Amino acid sequence: MPPRLRLLIGLASLHTALLITSTVAGAKLVALPFGLSASATVLSYALTFVILDTIADLYGADVSAFVINMGLAGMMLAAVYLAAAAVVPPAPGFAGQEAFSIVLSSSWRIWLAGWCAYTVSQRLDVWIYLALKRTGIVGQAVVTRAGVSLTIGQFVDTALFVTVAFVGKTPLLPVILGQYAVKLALACVAVPLVGVTVAVARRLVAGDEATTRAGAAACS
């Protein structure tokens, strides 16, 4: 398998796995200091932006869009399957049906909020990242591009998700501010991580390709 393809499959698989994790835990709000709150998925979901920026840098817009679409398909499939698993009759002796249903059967409103926020914010993130790379407005540093795109993309994601999921149920501003504050804090780690991930990925691909060429030359 070509090194670039192997790397892409690995990155895309991690991206989708983190999204499905977010599907399961997205309905829970966790308490934060100063009366703020955030979704329990804030860490796992933030990491999907790190992976996506890496894919965008290495493979471009078309591949990034495909990964985003497959991630959306994975979340939808997981949601349908989890909902079905929650409502089918339990086997005799299974004592955790009520808790199982509560945990896994999130409302369609939560899922719809997540899907809308995900589709808009991740496409926006990729567009901003690649536009900055193409124009060089903020220089050519991966970390700078990732910082700008992630900061904007995460805000759009937070505002869309919280509004669709919780309007009419809870005051929106504390949740938006709390969740975005956590995401900004995580960005301090996530943004440099994009630079590290891109650099390591480039070296892995270059090293594997060089080894493959050397092996082919030795056999010829």
Q: Which amino acid is at 208?
A: D
pTM score: 0.81
Q: Using CA atoms, how far apart are residues 89 and 94, in angstroms rounded to an integer?
A: 10
Residue from 109, 141, 133 nearest 60 by CA:
133
Tell me the pLDDT of the chain (220 aa) as tens digits.
777 888 899 999 999 999 888 777 766 777 777 776 666 777 788 888 889 999 999 899 999 999 999 999 998 888 888 888 888 888 888 887 877 777 666 667 777 888 899 999 999 999 999 999 998 888 778 889 989 998 999 899 889 988 888 888 878 888 888 778 878 887 887 888 888 888 888 887 776 555 445 444 444 5
Is-contact 166 23, C-beta < 8 A? Answer: no
Both tokens assigned to 26: 């997205």
Is-contact 19 118, C-beta < 8 A? Answer: yes
